[in-house]
Chain A
Amino acid sequence: MKKFTQAFWDEPLLKELSRPGRVGMSVPNDVKISARFKDPGSLVPASLRRSSVNLPELSELQVLRHFNRLSQMNFSVELGMYPLGSCTMKYNPKVSEMISGSDGMKNAHPLQPEDTVQGLLSIFYELERYLKELTGMHRFSLSTAAGAQGELAGVLMIRKYLRDHGQGKRDEILVPDSAHGTNPASAAMAGFQVVKVASDPSGQVRASAVRELCSDRTAGMMFTVPNTLGLFESEVADVCSAVHAAGGLMYYDGANMNALLGRARPGDMGFDVVHLNLHKTFATPHGGGGPGAGPVGVTRKLTQYLPVPVVSKAKDAYSLDYDLKHTIGPLKGFVGNSAVLLRAYVYIRLLGASGLADVSSLAVLAANYLWKSLDPEAFPASHGKDLHRKHEAVVSVKSELPGSALTIAKGILDYGMHAPTIYFPLIVHEALMIEPTESEPLEMLDEYAAALNEIYKEMRQGTLGSVPKNTSVGKIDEVKASHPMTLRVHW
């Protein structure tokens, strides 16, 4: 089995590399202008004048070396398989990076007149049309910056819509126990009480369970389909009907949309509000934690509640529309994460109608193939073992020892492959959540499965030793770091 060794540079902190007098960039200076202002700092009122800024002093090459060395100690999609469940770590096409680096994108100012930025607005308008077709929704706002912000926008719209219709007493949002943590957190931020819906033994939400929890306090439900176990919620239409019958609205968490392109649409299932994670399904890079984009779409009756701005078209002119009658307001300054939206647009254009359907077919095929390549004794399915997986597979690590999923996760790092998401969803014992995506060639899926099987065997035989061994640093003391005194360096 191939193993790897990650680079290790015993790289100091910037402050340790600093030496007085060094600079890494020269600043423009017009001699005729500077001749007029002998002491420019004195233009600041004396009481607020800053004498110096404590920044490190390094040359340009030193700064580059520092960050390049750090980058070599960072695992990434372009280095190896990164099957973090629920994160859809697919390949991010290089051409999207090239295009988003165009002057017409990066140098556009959000407050410039709309008639000077028609090229970009026309792209956003088309992107919205594509997202509507992919989800079956009536209108989208592209303004929300990430999935969690799309969720917040969604539940705020539900809240405002209900209040405007005399239903302001509805203060509960149902959230399945398998949901991402952002769902209950978003509902709480919007002022709702969270009511947990228990999944059944097959890992699905039953309409009967939802019906039992519904009351005249139900504002709606946040529902992830396929769910975080990688299973399609077979009663989704009935769940939507049950919540609607009780007077609530349905929110679709689109984190797992990579399974459904061209196969099924939340709008046809009965959802009222939808968010999509463009950095997942539509291949924009995750940036080491961000940026993302989380556009939010709605049915016709909620159109006027969308967060502003939305992109409008009249005759051949595109504009930003801030004047929606019942808008919940903006959640982010300006237009949205525009350069992320552009990348998602490019991705959709590269693949088109047939290619996007193939994306989901091949992503689902890869998840099932990888799942079935795992030793079923070592990694039993926690739920619905007779059901096909969608975008990801969740398994338990069979072991009497607590922490075995963590051990497996650390072990796989030594093979030059990233760990799955672990200990999530919370309802699975010793969970590994594996989402290979359509980007991984078959050979890579084989290697990954073989490595997991091997690590498990070594763990059981007691020959694994302490892992990881080949990463730039061995196992880290994360408890010690959890003190506010360790959050910065003083100098």
Chain B
Amino acid sequence: MQASHEGHPLLPNLDESLVSKMLEKAGASSIDELFSDIPPKVRLKRKLRLPEGASEYEIRREVQARLGRNRTPPGTLCFLGGGVWPHYIPAAVESITSRQEFYTSYTPYQPEVSQGMLQALFEYQSLMCDLLGMEVCNSSLYDWASAAGEAVRMAGRVTGRRKALIASNSGSQRLAVIRTYTEPMGMELEAVSFDRSRGTVDLSDLEHKLSDDIACLYVENPNFFGVIEEEIPRIVKKVHGAGGLAVVGVDPISLSLIKEPGAYEADVAVGEGQPLGIPMNYGGPHLGIFAVKDIKLARSMPGRLIGITNAVADPSRKAFAMVLQAREQHIRREAATSNVCTNQSLMAVAAASYLSLLGKEGYRKLGETIISNSHYAAKLLSRIDGVRSPHFGGAFFKEFTVSYRKSKADLVYRRLAKKGVLAGYPLSGYGVGAQAGLFCVTEVHTREDIEALSAALEEAL
């Protein structure tokens, strides 16, 4: 043993008498003998060059002090969006996700002793199917971007085609991950441009690029600029006309007021479940949503699926189990639909509890508060000299693009941060020039917060 002979809270058998007893049974004279099968030339012959351990109190004090130097809410106002959004997390959600029975378990390989997690995930699947208007939803992928990557791969597999159209007003994070995921299967990606005044997909460019070798179109609604894709039912029809799949990326909160992908016949819905009771967490862990409209696509899906069944001995006793596992890597190996194993189950539990707390009425009210607050904010910002808010003519839900007549967006974003306001993520590289930024307003922002944003922006220009 290398540590001092004192006990350690994480190492119950760190005790010389216990170690000798265990060694005796194990048939070894020393711990080193247990490692004697490691050839000398690959052994580490020195001590690790890491700091020595410290007490829980010391580590907690030091690390929390360092985290305290981050500028975050509540001391800072956050109006950033772009795929991760500030939303209120009900205390009851935090209470549920901090149940150790959920968070210290693993994949429910033994369903009889894991019914709680299985039912919670089944409820998540059901709630998401209702929210999205889809028939089958898996129990989670890593995040929106990787779910989008898996969706375009699936479209390639089921259509046998190797070309995908991608709406260029989608989030750059998603676009980049789709590229990484699909490149190895030889998928060719072609960008569909957007209307410079409305911010929505350019229908004539889409028509021009549609052909019968298209596996799918990936489009977001609302799109990265925050604009609602008003013509999405027509877009989906056109894609279907070319024999491709319509893959739609959504912010699930927007579905409180905006029609669900299933209502306009989207084939695959992906999205970011983070706003459903999951902290922003500097980028993760979040919740990748993946659902399909046609039940026939279930067998081509990536990710775990939970199904309802019953006990063998008592058909009246309902029970839950992982199903259609023959798609997955642990059974199918190189022929699996995906390599995904560890997913984001705990986040799916958060989302299920969030949706059931808000409920039918609460969810609608939430959407109404958000769309009111964001429109109030956009209007207030539009009164600032040299500001165009919203920049695009299309309708919006909780995010909107703002442009500045004289200032670079990057500078404005930095100046705002110095004033304690995180807002106006610069959109350079998105084809809207260097003088536009993205703003997000939700239910967490009070009227005073929005007025503070407006005052700070006026000063920052």
Contacts and interface: CB of A to CB of B under 8 A. Distances in A.
Contact of B345 (A76, A287, A409): A287
B131 A362 contact: no
A487 B50 contact: no
Contacts of A123: 63, 66-67
Interface string B194-238: 000000000000000000000000000000000010101100000
A165 interface: no
Given A95-B59, A330-B180, A364-B34, A476 B342 contact: no
B342 A148 contact: yes
B317 interface: yes
Contact of A63 (B129, B357, B372): B357
Given A87-B106, A288-B349, A388 B28 contact: yes
A110 B109 contact: no
A485 interface: yes
B459 interface: no
For the side of the interface on B, what is the size category?
Answer: 35 or more
Given A109-B280, A279-B342, A24 B63 contact: no
Contacts of A116: 70-72, 76, 417, 422
Interface stretch (B160-168, B240-248, B318-326): B318-326
20 contacts: A25-B92, A27-B365, A28-B88, A43-B371, A50-B257, A50-B259, A76-B101, A87-B106, A93-B56, A99-B63, A108-B281, A120-B67, A265-B44, A287-B103, A288-B121, A334-B83, A338-B281, A339-B284, A361-B1, A364-B34
A106 B262 CA distance: 32
B126 interface: yes
Interface stretch (B297-305, B381-389, B401-409): B297-305
Interface in B333-369: 333-336, 338-347, 349, 352-353, 355-369
Q: Which of B256, B323, B417 counts the most chain A CB atoms within 10 A?
A: B323
A11 interface: yes
A481 B105 contact: no
Interface in A456-482: 466, 468, 471-478, 480-482
B343 A289 contact: yes
A476 B12 contact: no
A105 B70 CA distance: 8
Given A27-B369, A74-B105, A106-B279, A333 B83 contact: yes
Contacts of A337: 142, 281, 283-285
Q: Which residue, B341, B343, B352, has most C-beta atoms of chain A within 10 A?
A: B341
Interface in B61-94: 63-64, 66-76, 78, 80, 82-84, 86, 88, 90, 92
Q: Which of A89, A279, A480 has the most chain B CB within a 10 Å cutoff?
A: A480
Interface in B31-69: 31, 33-39, 41-44, 47-54, 56, 59-60, 63-64, 66-69
Given A24-B358, A486-B323, A307 B180 contact: yes
B169 interface: no
Contacts of A269: 42
Nearest to B379: A36
Interface in A93-111: 93, 95, 97-99, 102-111
Contact of A331 (B75, B84, B181): B181
Contacts of A471: 112-113, 115
B392 interface: no
B13 interface: yes
**By CB atoms of chain B within 10 A, which of A56, A356, A419, A466 has the most?**
A56
Contacts of A106: 279-281
Interface string A361-373: 1101110110111
A372 B27 contact: yes
B307 A482 contact: yes
B397 to A, nearest CB: 7
